[in-house]
Amino acid sequence: MKIILTFLSAIFYALPSPAQHKEKQVIQQIITEKLPTGLKPYYPGSQFSLLKNNLSNVVIVKSDDIKRDDLATQIRDFLKKKWKIEIPIVNWKEAQKSTKNLILFGTVNENTPLRQLNANFQLGDNEFGYELRSIVNALDWNRNVIYIGFKNNKDLDKALDILTTKVKNPDKIEHFIACEGWEERLSDSRLQSMVEGMKSYYSKNASYVLTQFAISDSLKYISNLYKMTGYAPYVTTFAKMQNIVFENYGLTINGRTETAPSFSFYLYPQLVYIMEQSQNFTSEDRLASAEFMRKIVEEMMVHWEMKDPLRLYNDGKQEYLTNHSCFASRSVSSAARYLQARYNFEPAKFWINVADNAFAGVAPHPFSPEDAAGYQYLVYQIFIDYALASGVYDLDFFENDTFKNYVEFCKLQFNHLGYTAGFGDANPMGHDGGYTVLKYAVDILRDKEAEYLVSLIESRRQNKLKEFPFTNSPGVESLGLKYQEVVPFKQEQYEVGNYYNKPTLDKATFRSGWDKEADFLSITGINGDGYNHGHFDANGISQYISGNKLWLWEGDYIKKFPNDHNSIVVNKDGKLPDQTRSLKKRRKSSLSQILAAGNTPKRGNSLLSIMLEDYNGTNWTRNINYIAKSGFWVIDELDIQEEGNYIAEAYWRSTGAVSSLKQGYKITQKKSDEQDDATAFYVIEGSGANRFNRTVFEDMHGRKDGNLSGYMFSDRNTQYIIHRKDGKYKKGDKILFINFMQAASGKNSKSPEIRKVTENMFVANTEVFRAVILGAFSNKFMDIDADICFIGPEGIVARGANKLNIGSFKWQSLNKQNVFIELPKELSVEDLQQRLANLNQQAKLSLPTEYNNVNVPKNNQVVIGDYSSNISVMSSFVDRYAVGGQNGLFSIRNENGEELASRKFTKAISAICAVKTSKGVYWAVGVEPVNSRIGEGKLYFLDQNAEIVWQQSIPLYQKRNGKITTLFTAKVKDTSEPLIIAGAQSWHYFAFSTAGKQIWKQAVFHGATIGAAGDMDGDGSDEVAAGTEYYYHSIIKDGKVLPHTVTSPWVYALAVMDLNGDGLKEAVYGRGDGYLYVQAIDKNPVKPWTLNIGGKPTAIVPIEKNDIKIAVSNALGNITFVDGNGKAIKTVNLPLSIEDMVMSKQKLYAVCADNYIYKLNLNGDVLEKYPYLLDRGSIYTPKIVDTDKAIHVFSGKKIFSVSK
């Protein structure tokens, strides 16, 4: 059956090319259910001739590089001697005009036809030597190809000898493949195991995109083996494996039906091009593969990913499209072009036009608005893949300034170890998403700097950096500060075009060099890109490395907000800034405005001043003075624009062993070898800010062993250093953070020290003396008037300077200017150092201020218990509590701390829940995976004696471990036995009966964080509010997810409760943006609401007292009391982050990071405080549980119990 849909389209493409339409025409979309009955399978033939009517019917196509014309001549002369035929040498344009067969030679990027073949996976780019192959009826060219691949003259000589041995008669050429170094063949048993492995892969259901990986991994692998060897059993194996894909594609797994594999499907037609060259690919195989292509494209054309490409084609327009639409369009193009070329399949013409039109809107815009280390490259990488594979765009298209500027942008982001900062949704280390762009820059533009970086990246990927020569690196112009402004196209996409008077920052980097001892600092300027993958990290430092050590780095996938970055959080009057996706709504705090950016002439001393305007009542200016290999100043100015009560916290993320100093912190990492003494990093703050630190382990999206997977020089834990200032400020006031940071070498390296000369002038002793002045400063030696000025032996850099008089050097200007000069000849280094040393001697050392004191009675009646390892989790029930340890020890204790029973597991306890059963109180216990590669977590059900009643495995899914992160119970109507609900990192929530039977499992998006249950529809059974890392609120009823609500990412706190007293409960989520969100099921008439509670939520406690329904704590130290309609009734301020909070006997107990547990009444009055000790080295956040007679708090290896 066919359905005809007619579209009248006016297609005016922005960039002309052979495949584009330039006039109105009627385009018919033909929707098919199957390929036509009786369709003959396509065979390209098993042989071809280079002669026609006894005359030569072949040409040799020149290289793009005229310096290699002699190679074409050498090949022609050799073949003339062997084959006795004349073969013309022509360029590609001449070759296109003829219908003659082609001899192509050299590298896979030698010229346009080779680039197109390579983009279609038809060539091997053989790293082991020569590569010879014939391709019968290549792609849609209607001609045959002989490829002579080589990278040096030796390989060319070998290749010509083998070619003329294989082909003695040019009139009859049998299909051949000969690639040096590929003589080994897999055994029949190994091939059979690959087939069985494909069956097992589908049976385990370890992903909801099984076919994506089946194509990109398994089918591509076996296809490549055939491509490099010509070994026929590989073709048979490919056919068997693809049949398994056909049989399993589209199944419904865990309540989710697999959709078209749009990300990787573009590969599949390319693999079939290879397979069809072999006679072992049967007629049935050929027709089945063609039908699969038709089926998948038809499905993609009605999937949401192709909605915009279809709309644009229908309207005759082009617009920029993001990655999902481009993924799908690339796959549509690839499959449609195959079906058109091989079967002249009429519907494919429409598909090709839709895909071509989609990419026409992307073509002019390499700078992606998606601000993440991988995603920023993704769309244009897809476009280039499409452009080269389809043949729509030729080399000349890429020889334009926009593309060349884009290449420069890619280059500036790579550090000297061959990877970029992991800003946005990206891995924090090892990210090299720009590699493909750089590779194209080498292949297309012959860019030498890109060639160096490609070689560097490839060495890092192969773990061969130790052997990398670090020679022929980019020149001096690549050193110091380099930056990219936000291009007008991106500003328009963000809906802030023409909004700023000053240039805005996209990315900036500082570097001292390209050798293995160099240092590198990366800055980002986009504050949440309005798409899915950018973070709120403008003005933030996304990476600092020195040598091979990572010292500052940017956070976890999906953790979008400033507290997870090297950034500053501002709370004004109990509220955070607006962190909506819309940059237009956030006004001037969307992009960092560049106030000053430059280098001294030798590029060893640099200044970048950037401002986030209207940042929650402040204008935040971050000033970074980078001195190559000698450290850097970070001066943060928060200029108060609106009177209010402010909390400002500056966050620094590092890794290693942290030790506290008088004025800051020292971080120490492991040696890379015995000679390595570059193992220390100092973070020094000189304004007297309050400070504290904590240790966190970040599991990370897609990483089985943490965010710093593979990093060898630390324990891979994240170390947070936090500086804080708070109080009431009026307009015109300024909050300052004065930091100097330095990577140091030597066994006894000395900490930098900052002294305050005046309120606006500071001197740092950093092996040499340096000074920073904010505003005007005058003494006998210097008279400075500048917004900010940095002085040191490397020179003077200043923003907004009117006067720079230092000793005999005099500089003045009526207008404010930015200045970047080497140390003037009028000043000697020795004299400057002596003068600064004198100032330093007179100045005051500003030590960190103490935490604010809450003036209430201190109750020292705290019982302290010990544990055998750091405690990871705790749970309680009436008169007992259970403790889980990092060492796997599970212990049940009474209220006095006496152990009642215990059990040792092999890995850390990740979750515990008390379960009231008909047999008494049992315990559900989650244990982390024993093997991170297999990734299987465990759920154990233990009785009162800690004996195992049953156990269940929680499998790997989407490459995430089955680590259980949340355990709780849910009531079931008409039974006293509850369900045990387990949420795991592996994208699932599970329900088990107390007998150990799995009742349901439900896939969710990304890992589970915290869940809770309650009866939301009044039917007597509890629904599950499933908190996750992702953007969705998910309520699970009877094992099925109700329609999602889209919000901000990451649920940190959650409660299910009745907000309005109607008997129906609602879910209250506390998310990473510092807001509460209410979600109810459809039959519940309550009006959902949101509330800004001023910081990352840490606990939501139902109160249901008169007008107050909730108390919520946050990571900035606020407790907010909220009514049922989302109105904040009262906010209580404690000195530091509140780690956890519970209610017991109408009192709230809040665990604060200032080493006190605070007791409050339900009116918000703080009654008294109990001392405890926050273990800053444990990766586990302190938690509090309640029993009949006491509350119990764990931190590190201690349990602190307070009687009620």
- pLDDT exceeds 80 at position 291: yes
- pLDDT exceeds 80 at position 10: no
DSSP one-letter string for 95-151: HHHS--EEEEEESTTSSHHHHHHHHTT-----TTS-EEEEETT-TTSSS-EEEEE-S
The answer on 769 and 660 residing in a single domain is no
DSSP one-letter string for 1155-1188: TEEEEEETTS-EEEEEE----TT-SSPPEEEE-S
Q: Are 769 and 833 in contact (CB under 8 A)?
A: yes
Better pLDDT: 440 or 1132 = 1132
Residue 447 is assigned to a structural domain of this protein: no
Considering only 17-26, 779-788, 927-936, 1076-1085, which range has the smallest mean pLDDT?
A: 17-26
The answer on 159 and 289 residing in a single domain is no
Average pLDDT, the chain: 93
| Share above pLDDT 70 across residues of the chain, in percent, rounded to a whole number | 96
Distance CA 983, CA 967 (A): 7
DSSP one-letter string for 987-1030: TEEEEE-TTS-EEEEEE-SS-EEEEEEE-SSSSSS-EEEEEESS
- pLDDT exceeds 80 at position 541: yes
Asked which of 799, 823, 850 is the last residue of a domain, the reply is 850
Asked which of 725, 748, 771 is the last residue of a domain, the reply is 748
Tens digits of per-residue pLDDT, 1165-1179?
A: 999 999 999 999 999
Mean pLDDT, rounded, for 967-985? 96
Distance CA 1181, CA 1194 (A): 9
Q: Are 7 and 314 in contact (CB under 8 A)?
A: yes
Residue 179 is assigned to a structural domain of this protein: no
Residue 436 is assigned to a structural domain of this protein: no
Beta-carbon contacts of 870 under 8 Å, excluding residues fewer than 6 positions away, are 885, 886, 1175, 1178, 1179, 1180, 1196, 1197
Q: Are strands 753-758 and 761-765 parallel, antiparallel or unpaired?
A: antiparallel
Better pLDDT: 132 or 708 = 132
Residue 380 is assigned to a structural domain of this protein: no
Q: What is the pLDDT of residue 1043?
A: 81
Asked which of 700, 732, 748 is the last residue of a domain, the reply is 748
**CA end-to-end span of the chain, whole Å?**
76
Q: What is the pLDDT of residue 30?
A: 81
Burial group, residue 335, by CB count within 10 angstroms (0-12, 13-18, 19+): buried
Distance CA 673, CA 516 (A): 14
- Residue 511: which of 448, 453, 443 has the closest Cα? 453
The phi, psi pair for 1195, rounded to 5°, reads -155, 125
Q: Are strands 101-106 and 58-61 parallel, antiparallel or unpaired?
A: parallel
The answer on 257 and 130 residing in a single domain is no
Q: Decide: helix, strand or coil at residue 600.
A: coil
Q: Where are the alpha helices (DSSP H) in 565-637?
A: none
- pLDDT exceeds 70 at position 7: no
- pLDDT exceeds 60 at position 11: no
Q: Are 691 and 850 in contact (CB under 8 A)?
A: no
The answer on 641 and 781 residing in a single domain is no
Residue 650 is assigned to a structural domain of this protein: yes
Q: Are 960 and 1007 in contact (CB under 8 A)?
A: yes
Amino acid at 247: E
- Residue 606: which of 516, 519, 733, 489 has the closest Cα? 519
Mean pLDDT, rounded, for 646-672? 97
Q: What is the pLDDT of residue 203?
A: 85
Mean pLDDT, rounded, for 110-128? 96
Residue 692 is assigned to a structural domain of this protein: yes
Question: Which CATH number characterizes residue 488's domain?
Answer: 2.70.98.70
Which runs of E-coded beta strand occur in 1029-1127?
1032-1033, 1035-1037, 1040-1041, 1045-1046, 1051-1057, 1066-1071, 1075-1079, 1090-1092, 1097-1105, 1108-1114, 1118-1122
For tokens 């369009």, the residue is 329
Question: Which CATH number characterizes residue 905's domain?
Answer: 2.130.10.10
Indicate the number of domains in the chain: 5
Mean pLDDT, rounded, for 76-91? 97
Amino acid at 585: K
HSE-up of 976 (CA within 13 Å, CB side)? 6
Q: Are 392 and 20 in contact (CB under 8 A)?
A: yes
Angle at which helices 69-83 and 153-166 cross, to 10° = 30
Mean pLDDT, rounded, for 498-524? 96
The answer on 877 and 765 residing in a single domain is no
Q: Are 1109 and 1123 in contact (CB under 8 A)?
A: yes
Q: Decide: helix, strand or coil at residue 92.
A: helix
The answer on 271 and 251 residing in a single domain is yes
Q: What is the pLDDT of residue 208?
A: 73
Distance CA 402, CA 437 (A): 13
The band of 959, judged by pLDDT with boundaries at 50, 70 and 90, is confident
Tens digits of per-residue pLDDT, 213-238?
A: 999 999 999 999 999 999 999 999 99
Angle CA 136–138–139, to nearest 5: 140
Q: Are 1174 and 851 in contact (CB under 8 A)?
A: no
- Residue 21: which of 3, 9, 37 has the closest Cα? 9
Distance CA 526, CA 530 (A): 10
Angle CA 1190–1195–1200, to nearest 5: 25
Token digits for 843? 């100045």
Angle at which helices 346-362 and 323-343 cross, to 10° = 150
Domain that holds residue 74: 47-174
Tens digits of per-residue pLDDT, 846-895?
A: 999 999 999 999 999 999 999 999 999 999 999 999 999 999 999 999 99
The band of 256, judged by pLDDT with boundaries at 50, 70 and 90, is low
Tens digits of per-residue pLDDT, 172-181?
A: 999 999 999 9
Cβ neighbours of 472 (radius 10 Å): 12
Mean pLDDT, rounded, for 542-555? 95
Question: Which CATH number characterizes residue 63's domain?
Answer: 3.30.379.10
Distance CA 550, CA 539 (A): 19
The answer on 912 and 766 residing in a single domain is no
The answer on 765 and 636 residing in a single domain is no
Amino acid at 827: L
Q: Are strands 734-744 and 753-758 parallel, antiparallel or unpaired?
A: unpaired
Tens digits of per-residue pLDDT, 390-433?
A: 999 987 888 889 999 999 999 999 999 999 999 988 888 888 98
Tens digits of per-residue pLDDT, 665-711?
A: 999 999 999 989 999 999 999 999 999 999 999 987 655 678 888 89
The answer on 917 and 1062 residing in a single domain is yes
Q: What is the pLDDT of residue 704?
A: 64
Mean pLDDT, rounded, for 475-489? 97
The answer on 162 and 213 residing in a single domain is no
Helix (H) or strand (E) holding 6: strand 2-9
Residue 831 is assigned to a structural domain of this protein: yes
- Residue 403: which of 371, 450, 334 has the closest Cα? 450
Q: What is the pLDDT of residue 555?
A: 75
The answer on 756 and 744 residing in a single domain is no
The band of 906, judged by pLDDT with boundaries at 50, 70 and 90, is very high
Q: What is the pLDDT of residue 257?
A: 75
Helix (H) or strand (E) holding 923: strand 920-927
- Long-range contact list for 305-308, CB < 8 A, 24+ apart? 305/262, 306/332, 306/354, 308/358
Residue 945 is assigned to a structural domain of this protein: yes
- pLDDT exceeds 60 at position 17: no
Better pLDDT: 579 or 316 = 316
The answer on 896 and 761 residing in a single domain is no
Q: What is the pLDDT of residue 16?
A: 31
